[in-house]
Structure 1
Amino acid sequence: MRIDESWYRKPPGVPEHTSAGGVVVRPGDAQLFVALIREGGQPGYVLPKGHVEPGESLDEAAAREVSEEAGLAGLTTLGEIAVRERLNLKKTSWKRTHYFLYVAGPGSSVQGLAEWFSLDALPPMFWPEQRELLEACRSQIAVLVAQSLQAGRDPRKEATQRQFGQRARAYAHSASHRHDTDLDLLVEHLKPTSSDCLLDVATGTGFTAVAFGPLVRSVVGVDLTWEMLQEAEALRSGRDRIRWAVADADALPFADATFTAVTCRRAAHHFVHLEHAIREMLRVLAVGGRIGLVDQVLPDDEPGGTLMESMEILRDPSHVRALPASRWQALLARAGVALSLMQTVERRLAVSEWLELAGTDLARRDAIEAALRRASPQAREQIGYAATQNPTFLKRWVILVGTK
């Protein structure tokens, strides 16, 4: 029996049903394997899937079908990856199937009619749309799996992925992230050349990588969050010198001395292991290469520093810590960086705009307002707080450029 295009045309009046299925992958030697089921009595293989039981959510139904058909349980769930529609085998109903991505452990075995196949060498498949799904989503699957493995299931890194996965579109439209004084100074003082190979760590939606793109030989932008890189890809259009990769700043997937310049802009306060991340950046940087960092900084004086840090933590659950500029200077000196620039810039921001970018919920907004009311006049002055009709404060960033 051969499935043709007639299964993908919806006749009028045909009843509709919702199904759920799983794309289960297992990391192997430099490749990914996918679990497929031999379709009983039919040629080719299929993805595990089935109907949704009463009271089940889509993801619960998908996990149950994977367990029943492939004998796989205890999987890491990476969320819904695709939806496909067609008629059922007898052409009596229109099926809309939601597919969820799962990761199995390296030694996981399947049961029954299930087998593992390389995602790069799929066997004949019974349903054409399932093969199309795997081929169309192959790169996305690889990135999401790498992202999951590199996060190491660290809850703080997972918080970063959740926060920026949800807010990726907002950051892609942030005028300050797209272009501001700190980016101008970073480009000016890093002194990029047409022979440079540049790495942008925690590239986010790619604004820094794109700014350097025309000035260097090549740029690699890495980030922990797939959704941010999806937004970055829209910026990359027509810029062949730039490519993206999912990577953790704690474990950069590059050999020693791969790059002649490394940048990291407005991200380091999210790093769980800041000093280790800096060592990683310097490891992949060639001797004599330049490093340029930009990050938000706290006032050097108390109690303003404590007030600002408490507001940052309430605003964004992925915030780890911000440092005063003096601490940044000492940290890079210990790492062996010869600084040529350390300059602080500031921008007056509306508190409401700042909270909106992070998607801060109402309870946390109320807590920030309460913290500002309780703060001493000295603390409010040190963060530049102005209690106008639309309250504002001064956001400060330090730009550091140096040589390894």
Structure 2
Amino acid sequence: MNTQQQLNQDQYQGKSNAYLSSSVHAQGVEFAKMQQCIQQNQFKRVLDLGCGAGHVSYHVAPLTEHTIAYDVTPDMVALVCQQAKEKGLTQIQGQQGAAEALPFADQSFDCVISRYSAHHWQHVGQAMQEIHRVLKPHGKVIFVDILGSGQPILDTFLQTIEMIRDPSHVRDYSLQEWMKFAEYAGFKVEEVEKQALHLDFNSWVARMKTPENGAATIRYLQDKVSDVVRQYFEIQADGSFKTEVMYLVLGKTG
């Protein structure tokens, strides 16, 4: 049986170094916002949920007493532990597991951060409830992820090319869907911002080792879509394009 967690592991095993060196993942205005949030609230224990190559952990760990880099892919966790040792970030501890079943006690963390991970989760609603459980009262959750669209013509295109590139893709959720997840789990929405993410096509598919026929299919779709889709995603002649990214801060009341 091929579960979503196994599919994620298969897709990302052996790709950790590509994500470590990826400028898309290593850079972003959101890191300064995360650091500011941790400093202002004096958060000491942070969970980097779906840590990937660990970029969130590297940015926030110096401000904390304990940062756990948590990911479903063992290869990613091993890489973060190695990098943390090389960087002298003794605050970082790696742990492997799924977002829907967090192996931590109730109220273990001051802050949970998840960046470019939730669109791979099998059950975001279940994961949100787990996050709520392990978060301390008055703690905060920060999500950064690619936004889906409430307009079907745009959403169908985005979800399609995402899954052709990476079969472990589940869904880029719309802002409305995120609001429902937050409300259902009992969180209060504190901050919502949108950012633009420009993706170079060649590095985007190379990072995931997308087969040539998959990349060609994506390029075919890019060539055939309507002007509405082409203009919204700012699709370039070489296939590079732009997507919307959400920066979401949720708070847990008492």
Q: Distance in 1 between matches of 2:133 and 2:2?
A: 23
Give 1:348's aligned residue. 198
* Residue 227 (str. 1) matches residue 49 (str. 2): no
Aligned length: 250
Q: Distance in 2 between matches of 1:256 and 1:213?
A: 21
Highest RCO, 1 vs 2 (Cα 8 Å, sep ≥ 6): 2
Of 371, 376, 383, 2:233 maps to 383
**Do the aligned partners of 1:171 and 1:205 also contact (CA within 8 Å) in 2?**
yes
Q: Secondary structure at the match of 1:253?
A: coil
Q: Secondary structure at the match of 1:160?
A: helix
Q: Distance in 2 between matches of 1:340 and 1:261?
A: 14
Q: Distance in 2 between matches of 1:384 and 1:209?
A: 32
* Residue 304 (str. 1) matches residue 144 (str. 2): no
**Do the aligned partners of 1:265 and 1:293 also contact (CA within 8 Å) in 2?**
yes
Letter of the 2:179 counterpart: Q
Give 1:254's aligned residue. 104
Q: Distance in 2 between matches of 1:191 and 1:253?
A: 26
**Do the aligned partners of 1:299 and 1:383 also contact (CA within 8 Å) in 2?**
no
Choose between structure 1 and 2: higher strand proportion: 1
Q: Secondary structure at the match of 1:166?
A: coil
Q: Post-superposition shift, 1:186?
A: 3.1
**Do the aligned partners of 1:269 and 1:295 also contact (CA within 8 Å) in 2?**
yes
Q: Distance in 2 between matches of 1:217 and 1:192?
A: 15
Give 2:241's aligned residue. 393
Structure 1, unaligned stretches of length 5 or more? 1-152
Q: Post-superposition shift, 1:326?
A: 2.5
Give 1:73's aligned residue. none
**Do the aligned partners of 1:192 and 1:212 also contact (CA within 8 Å) in 2?**
no
Q: Post-superposition shift, 1:266?
A: 0.6
Give 1:271's aligned residue. 121
Letter of the 1:168 counterpart: S
Letter of the 1:167 counterpart: K
Letter of the 1:158 counterpart: Q
Give 1:280's aligned residue. 130
Choose between structure 1 and 2: higher helix proportion: 2
Q: Distance in 2 between matches of 1:377 and 1:167?
A: 34
Give 1:322's aligned residue. 172
* Residue 179 (str. 1) matches residue 27 (str. 2): yes
Aligned-residue identity in percent: 24
Give 2:57's aligned residue. 209
Q: Distance in 1 between matches of 2:217 and 2:27?
A: 30
Q: Secondary structure at the match of 1:319?
A: coil
Q: Secondary structure at the match of 1:372?
A: helix
Which TM-score applies when normalising by structure 2? Answer: 0.92
The aligned runs of 1:20-99 (5 Å cut-off) are none
Q: Post-superposition shift, 1:231?
A: 1.5
Of 276, 294, 319, 2:144 maps to 294
* Residue 241 (str. 1) matches residue 91 (str. 2): yes
Cα gap change, 1:217/1:194 in structure 2, threshold over 3 Å: closer, same or farther?
A: farther
Letter of the 2:5 counterpart: K
Letter of the 2:36 counterpart: E
Q: Post-superposition shift, 1:362?
A: 0.7
Give 2:223's aligned residue. 373
Q: Distance in 2 between matches of 1:362 and 1:316?
A: 13
Q: Spell out, residue by residue over 1:149-205, the C-alpha distance to the aligned partner (whole angstroms, 9 max, x if none).
A: xxxx65221110011103112111112211212333333345565552111111111
Q: Secondary structure at the match of 2:51?
A: coil
**Once superposed, what is the RMSD of the aligned Cα atoms?**
1.7
Cα gap change, 1:295/1:215 in structure 2, threshold over 3 Å: closer, same or farther?
A: same
Which TM-score applies when normalising by structure 1? Answer: 0.59
Structure of larger gyration radius = 1
Please identify, of 204-213 and 332-341, the stretch whose mean Cα deviation from structure 2 is larger.
332-341
